[in-house]
Chains A and B, each alone.
Chain A
């Protein structure tokens, strides 16, 4: 072990971290808690509070069975993160976070969840995967999360014990961000607008119902073979869903166009 440590020792000959033995883990922790309490200001308490809240909300989001409830918890998490943004002098981003994430996007999520009625018709009444088939996923998740935690913990969070640079009053406002956005980042900004346009079109195309597509294709004079090639043949011929007829597929879900609301939501958010 010492050999390995020697191998990894700093090349410049400086001492290995923690050369002097610590006075004891428990007393160390106590002193840490004390210093934390002693040096923490009101703004920091605020930040910690909302950060903790955001994490709790996120945990509930991930763990809750019902997607609707999960979406509501997600809104809470995003709102808390937005408040953290304010603490980090990113006021414009905070507003954007509330508008786009907590507002438009979450509405979209909840909307879709409600429309699809996943909880009743979806995963819940499907025969669930056997336990024996599920534990590898959990095991893998544990291993991966542990590894990721170790690495991220070790690299990201431990190096920057600083409150950062002194900043001016205009930092993070809509004006300063806008100057940056329409100055050096103009090309990227325009690229993002193209991306959103593509997303709108893609969403419309993907989410259109099969019946609509078939109707349009027939109106355009496509032959039966053409329909089959385009994946629009009758459901009986579809090997993927042998037990679902077209009527079954169609009936519970009225043909709706989900492209427009989502597009409108994003455009409004920006």
Chain B
């Protein structure tokens, strides 16, 4: 049996690494992957607590998070494709149209 602290450390590490990626990387694709990492960290925490309380709600919620992540990835990648067509760039620093 694993102490519940360990998966929380894992979740924490994944989340922080994902956050670093989102903050630091300029490539949109890698930023999207980092977001997936963050979601994964949240999932790990959910499952860890699900195990802690012996309650399946956490796992069900984690499943929903996976579904939402899938939807997010689909739309996000579609946007990336669309952006790349018009800008020929995956660098977020070039994508400043939000300003207008």
- List residues of chain A with CB under 8 Å of any chain B CB: 41, 43-44, 47-48, 51, 54-55, 58-59, 61-62, 64, 67, 70-71, 74, 77-78, 81, 84-85, 87-90, 92-93, 96-97, 100-101, 104-105, 108-109, 112-113, 115-116, 118, 121-123, 126, 129, 137-138, 140-141, 144-145, 148-149, 152-153, 156-158, 160-167, 171-172, 176-177, 180-181, 184-185, 188-189, 192, 195-196, 198-200, 202-204, 206-207, 209-210, 240-241, 244, 249, 252-253, 258-259, 262-263, 265-266, 269-270
Known: A58-B13, A196-B70. A210 touches B5 (CB 8 A): no
Residues of B within 8 A of A141 (CB): 20, 23-24
Tell me the bound Cα distance from A152 to B97 in angstroms. 34
Q: Which B residues lie within 8 Å of A89 (CB)?
A: 51
CB nearest neighbor in A for B7: A88
Q: Evaluate contact between B23 and A140: CB separation under 8 angstroms.
A: yes
User: Are A101 and B36 closer than 8 Å at their CB atoms?
Assistant: yes
A160: shortest Cβ distance to chain B, in Å? 5
A48, A67, A138, A198, most chain B CB atoms within 10 A: A67
Contact present for A97 and B59 (CB under 8 Å): no
Besides A101-B66, A207-B81, 16 other A-B contacts (C-beta < 8 A): A62-B20, A96-B66, A109-B32, A109-B77, A113-B29, A122-B89, A123-B90, A148-B16, A149-B12, A164-B52, A180-B56, A189-B64, A195-B67, A199-B71, A206-B81, A207-B77
B32 — which chain A residues lie within 8 A by C-beta?
109
Shortest CB-to-CB span from A270 to chain B, Å, is 7
Structural contact, A81 and B74, CB atoms closer than 8 A: no
User: Size of chain B's interface in residues, with CB distance under 8 A?
Assistant: 79
- Inter-chain contact A160/B68, CB cutoff 8 Å: no
In the complex, are the beta carbons of B17 and A55 less than 8 A apart? yes
- CB-nearest residue of chain B to A94: B47
Chain A residues near B26: list those with CB within 8 A: 123, 129
Q: What is the distance, in angstroms, from B9's C-beta to the closest C-beta of chain A?
A: 5
Report whether over half of chain A's contact residues are helix, strand or loop; otherwise say mixed. helix
What B residues does A112 contact at CB under 8 A?
29, 77, 80-81
Kindly list chain A residues whose C-beta atoms are within 8 Å of the C-beta of B56. 171-172, 176-177, 180
Is B5 a contact of A160 with CB atoms below 8 Å? Answer: yes
Q: Is the CB–CB distance between B51 and A203 below 8 Å?
A: no
